[in-house]
Amino acid sequence: MKTFAKSFGILLALISLAVSAPVHAITITGVEVDIGTTVFTNWNGNGANHLGASGTSITAGQNLILTQNPTTPSDFNFDTSDVKCAGSVATCTAPVIKVTTVERGTVVFVDGTPTSNVLHDNNTDPVNGSHTEAHAWTLLGSLSGVKLWVGYADDTHTDPCTDAAEGAGTAGNCHPDPWQGTFDTIFLGSPVTSGCLRPGSTSCFDAGALRIQFDSTTFIQATPEPVSILLLGFGLAGLAAFRRYRASR
């Protein structure tokens, strides 16, 4: 009896350890940005999956930055600030960002309010050659292990940048920092080096940007891993066999 109790106690400890095993990474398979009826699926669609066939995995402390370069100076396919709402600003909807991971499915973030957000430039972009939408990273929150910032990169317009307090990096470079040189930056299209108005710019941008990290503090292991279920099955079977043995004596 003592031997069985000790063995069963060890088994329960192993099950507990397996169920609570820490998760160290997430794999992102899809990203979508909705602004009203306009839908951007630039990183997992339109004939090219820039996240890879199996998705892109990131661990704690790594950054996945998603934005785009145009294929020509006039082709900005993630120029989210140019999306205009029908009717008044009051009837607009704030940008909605949907991030899909292998581990937790799709989580949904909202970028501020209809009149105060980063990706949509508060619906105030006059669409001219001077207005710059550059904006530092703004943290939207952390859900199911996905930590999301939104920002805007714009070195194609003449007005001064508004990102002087953007944190680490070069203040006033019209890019949310950290920018290039981080763990993984996915740019859509081809680099365009002509038409940039900022000294030192190596590529032209007029595009929204998303920065994603893995946050283990909000990743809850909601379902047991297969090994946990197997161990639990063995444990219950063993307990049932022991009870039958005791009853037959």
DSSP codes, the chain: -HHHHHHHHHHHHHHHHHHTPPP-EEEEEEEEEEETTEEE-TTSBTTB-TT-TT-EEEETT--EEEEE--SSTT--TT-GGGPPPSS-GGG----EEEEEETTTEEEEEE-SBTTB-STTGGG----SSS----EEEEEEEEETTEEEEEEEEE-SSSSPPS-TT--SS-TTSSS-SSBTBSSEEEEES----SS--STT-SS--EEEEEEEEE-GGG----S--HHHHHHHHHHHHHHHHHHHHHHH-
Listed residue (85, 1, 3) closest to 36, CA to CA:
85
Query: What confidence tier does 110 reach under pLDDT thresholds 50, 70, 90?
Result: very high
Question: Is 134 inside any structural domain?
Answer: yes
Question: Is 14 inside any structural domain?
Answer: no
Residue 236, domain extent: 2-9+223-248
Question: Is 48 inside any structural domain?
Answer: yes
Report whether pLDDT(145) > 70: yes
Same domain, 228 and 200: no
Same domain, 34 and 122: yes
Question: Is 195 inside any structural domain?
Answer: yes
Report whether pLDDT(70) > 80: no
Report whether pLDDT(143) > 90: yes
Q: Is the model more confident about 137 or about 115?
A: 137
Same domain, 109 and 188: yes
Query: What confidence tier does 241 reach under pLDDT thresholds 50, 70, 90?
Result: low
Question: Is 17 inside any structural domain?
Answer: no
Same domain, 131 and 104: yes
Same domain, 105 and 171: yes
Same domain, 234 and 118: no
Same domain, 192 and 243: no
Give dist(CA 72, CA 137) in Å, integer. 26
Question: Is 18 inside any structural domain?
Answer: no
Same domain, 237 and 153: no
Reported pTM: 0.76
Question: Is 164 inside any structural domain?
Answer: yes
Length of the chain: 249
Tally of structural domains, the chain: 2
User: ∠ CA(187), CA(198), CA(61), 5° rounding?
Assistant: 45
Same domain, 44 and 92: yes
Same domain, 175 and 193: yes
Question: Is 160 inside any structural domain?
Answer: yes
